[in-house]
Amino acid sequence: MNKKVILSGIQPSGTLHLGNYFGAMKQHITLQREGEAYYFLANYHALTSLQDGELLRKNTHDVVLDYLALGLDPDSCTLFAQSDVPQTTELAWILGCLTPVSLMEKGVSYKDKISQGLSPNIGLFTYPILQAADILIYHSDLVPVGEDQKQNIEIARDLANKFNYAYKGEFLNVPEERIVESVSIVPGLDGRKMSKSYQNTIPIFEEGNALKTRIGLIQTDSTPLEEPKNPDTCNVFALIKLFGTQEEVNEISDLYRSGGFGYGHAKHRLKELMDREFSEPREKRKELLDRPGLVEEILQEGGRKAREKAESVMGPIREVTGLSRRSE
Ligand code: ADP
Ligand code: TRP
């Protein structure tokens, strides 16, 4: 039986944070050996919000280092940059010609981003079409993403069906989404969704005093130290739940409820749990910094493999759409 194609992307639009880790990267790493996995840096998508070439290049490089440090193995999956596969934008145009404007107008992510102050550019508006092309160009079966990406995956399924219907054949595979079940939305310092655009993040590779200061900024209510507290409404506890074992989480939950356990204590426990989870990746990331050329080597090889696959899907599409000429 053929292996399932697993595909996901992440925008190199800033420093990666715990929302990206639990909502996306952690499961990318877990899934890398369960199928034919493709993971990419969505640098075309990042252009919708970032117009600084040097910064985009640096972020792209940093996200590769983050992935490698966290355990992504480029021998088990294909890691590449979106812009190294031009077939993606080619397919995006074709899909755009089958996309009703009204479908884009329903996009919640567009409205969200505009309300956060991003410029309402066409790239942002048609973002889901490019994302659909990302997914469909590899005949992906499974797309592991966070809850907030649900609608975009639904649009990709919709566009695959529209294409197949219009051209009367099974040219594009209709993918499934795989939403991380245990994590819906990771809260940020202010309790809203943790997001680069809200400046409320805890970066994955923050450590030492900088991490302590960051954790110190998590908003809590003003219940005095000695009084019992409700863990279920506390932002610190929401993060503790992501890092702790069931036993640790139960223990800390009991401490909240029994009183005499302050938010400062909770934050200290959170830092300990984060240090445990990330101590190895932090060391590994420092080692990787001593290997110049490694990231580029990985992206070159990943790009080559991804292009090969994308080209095999694009061939029949050019044929059926009439874009390629028949040799007489
Ligand atoms: P940001 O909102 O910080 O710009 P992205 O939109 O680039 O993050 O998200 C990259 C991936 O990380 C997506 O798959 C998304 O679902 C996941 N993700 C981002 N923030 C969170 C969060 N707070 N909780 C859960 N998953 C998240
Ligand atoms: N939109 C995704 C995000 O903001 C990134 C992304 C682009 C993606 N293309 C994709 C995710 C294809 C999954 C599949 O995180």
Domains of the chain: residue spans and CATH: 5-186+292-321 (3.40.50.620), 205-287 (1.10.240.10)
Tell me the ligand closest to 131's alpha carbon: 2
Q: Taking the CB of residue 230, how many other CB atoms lie within 10 A of it?
A: 12
Q: What percent of the chain has pLDDT over 70?
A: 97
pLDDT in tens, 293-311: 999 999 999 999 999 999 9
Which active-site residues does the annotation give? 113, 193, 196
Q: CB-side exposure of 273: number of CA atoms within 13 Å?
A: 23
Whether residue 196 has pLDDT greater than 90? no
80 in helix, strand or coil?
strand
pLDDT tens-digit map of 247-265? 999 999 999 999 999 999 9
Distance 10 CA to ligand 1 centre (A): 8
% of the chain with per-residue pLDDT over 90: 88
39 SS3 class: strand
Q: Candidates 134, 143, 180, 186: which one to mutate for ligand 2, based on the most atoms within 8 Å of Cβ?
A: 134
Whether residue 145 is predicted with pLDDT greater than 90 in this model: the reply is no
Prediction pTM value:
0.93
pLDDT, residue 181, reads: 56
147 Cα to the center of ligand 1, angstroms: 9
Quick one: pLDDT band at residue 206, thresholds 50, 70, 90? very high
Q: What pLDDT digit, counting tens, does each position of 53-108 carry?
A: 999 999 999 999 999 999 999 999 999 999 999 999 999 999 999 999 999 999 99
**pLDDT value of position 70:** 98
AA identity, residue 58: K
Give the atom of ligand 1 at the shortest distance from the alpha carbon of 184: 25
